[in-house]
Amino acid sequence: MDGSRLLSDRRGFLAGAAALGLAACGGAGKGGRVKLVLGDQVHLLQSKMEAAGALDHLSYDIQWANFAGAAPLLEALNAGAVDTAPAGDLPVILAAAAGAPLRIVAGSRFSPRDVGIIVPPGSPIRSLADLPGRRVIVSSARGSIAHYLLLEALKEAKVDRRRVDIGFMLPNDAAAAFAAGRVEAWATFGLYQIAAEQRGARILRDGQGISSGLGLIAASRAALDDPAKRAALRDVLARLQQASLWAQAHPDAYARLFARQTGVDAPLAKLVVERENPVLIASDAAVTVPLQRVVDRFYADGELPAHVEVAKLVEPGIFPA
């Protein structure tokens, strides 16, 4: 993967935001048109929309802001530097629990295999029961989908998490450390997980039976409260919904553009698309009910600063009918 295209850590966010022209994402684009700054992770949404031709004939301007993980992306949303943030379910909930001014505008479903706890090839670690006394790195930050998987998997295996040395790194930094043999076990997701698997990493536990398999798109309250931006956001969601349907029907074409956008090789791009090619859905009860169960468990574990009622975060009237 071309690491120069990703923001590598939180400390680099402000510099990265300035470089991207995101220090303040005002509503004015070219010729006074409204402008949206669309957050993205690993170019997934941008590549899908471009592959589907869903960005043609816009009546507003857009700017893409790509991030290495959910934590810096949601920090950008909180700071007003992006208007939208696609992320896993729990990072959005954690940001909301911490007071970020966001609303949920859409959901998606991905494969629960798209998150996993992995070890390097040749590792003596054979199961979760071998993790006490070991250091496990979690991708992104506390409250990520990988963090939730690790905690729930340890409970499932009857391993006291206090006996496991848990650390946190942004995914691309963790990927470099893992490849260099400096990480004993890694809880990660998506492209980072698949790339490691292709290099021989072994899966101790994936997300099947634990992960909700839900992704969310959050939008800032400021953008939603601006009538012009709200109308543009509604149009973006409609276009993204159509793009997701196109990508489901044309996975090979989507994989080719994804490979070009991210710099990964074609076989890896194809594997990513097989796991990460969800259709955009409304954030209705099919999303909020299973997510509430996950939130309640995470809160009971002491991992949320405040309890969150998911349904109250959903923005009505924004998802295309």
CATH of the domain at 16: 3.40.190.10
Mean pLDDT confidence for 238-252: 94
Domain shared by 142 and 283, yes or no = no
Least confidently predicted of 9-18, 47-56, 166-175: 9-18
**Is the pLDDT assigned to residue 244 strictly greater than 90?**
yes
- Any domain includes 319: no
Tell whether 86 and 143 lie within a shared domain.
no
d(C-alpha 21, C-alpha 270), whole Å:
32
> What pLDDT is recorded for position 68?
82
14 in a domain, yes or no?
yes
Distance CA 218, CA 101 (A): 10
Q: For residue 320, tell me if it sits in a domain.
A: no
pLDDT digits (tens, 9 = 90+) for 180-201: 999 999 999 988 999 999 999 9
C-alpha radius of gyration, the chain, whole number: 19
Same domain for 224 and 104, yes or no, is yes
pLDDT for the residue numbered 14: 37
Q: What mean pLDDT comes out for the span 210-225? A: 96
218 and 198 in a single domain? The answer is no
Single out the residue in 184, 206, 228 at which a domain terminates: 206
Nearest to 228 by CA among 17, 32, 22: 32
- pTM of the full predicted structure? 0.84
Tell me, yes or no, whether 67 lies in a domain: yes
**In angstroms, what CA-CA distances link 145 with 70, 216, 307, 316?**
10, 12, 17, 25
Q: Of 180, 206, 232, at which residue does a domain stop?
A: 206
Question: Minimal CA–CA distance to 215: which of 105, 318, 321, 297?
Answer: 105
Residue 28 has pLDDT above 80, yes or no: no
Residue 103: Cβ within 10 Å count: 21
pLDDT of residue 274: 86
Return the pLDDT at 10: 36
Residues 154, 227, single domain; the answer is no
Query: What is the residue range of 168's domain?
Result: 113-206
Give residue 40's pLDDT band: very low, low, confident or very high (50, 70, 90): very high
Q: How many domains does the chain have?
A: 2
Considering the domain architecture, whether residues 78 and 132 belong to the same structural domain is answered as: no
**d(C-alpha 7, C-alpha 18), whole Å:** 12
Please check whether residues 73 and 192 belong to one and the same domain: no
* Whether 104 and 221 share a structural domain: yes
Does 23 share its domain with 164? no
**DSSP one-letter code for 314:** B
Q: Answer with the one of 178, 206, 234 that is the final residue of a domain.
A: 206
Q: Tell me how far apart the alpha carbons of residues 92 and 75 are, in angstroms, rounded to a whole number.
A: 10
Q: Is residue 162 part of a domain?
A: yes
Q: 281: closest CA among 190, 214, 235?
A: 214
Residue tagged 């489901």 (tokens)? 248
- List C-alpha distances in Å: 195 to 201, 260, 263, 264: 9, 16, 12, 9
**What CA–CA distance (Å, rounded) separates 281 from 287?**
9
Same domain, 99 and 8: yes
Is 139 found in the same domain as 83? no
pLDDT (0 to 100) of residue 276: 79
């949206």: which residue's tokens? 36
d(CA 18, CA 233): 23
Do 142 and 269 belong together in one domain? no
pLDDT score at 24 = 42
CA-CA distance, 294 to 207, in Å (whole number)? 13
pLDDT band at 69 (very low <50, low <70, confident <90, very high): confident
Within-domain flag for 91 = yes
Q: Is residue 177 part of a domain?
A: yes
Residue 51 lies in a domain: yes
d(CA 218, CA 216) in angstroms, rounded, equals 6
State yes or no: pLDDT of 19 exceeds 70.
Answer: no
Residue 9: pLDDT over 60 = no
pLDDT tens figures, 43-59: 889 989 998 999 999 99
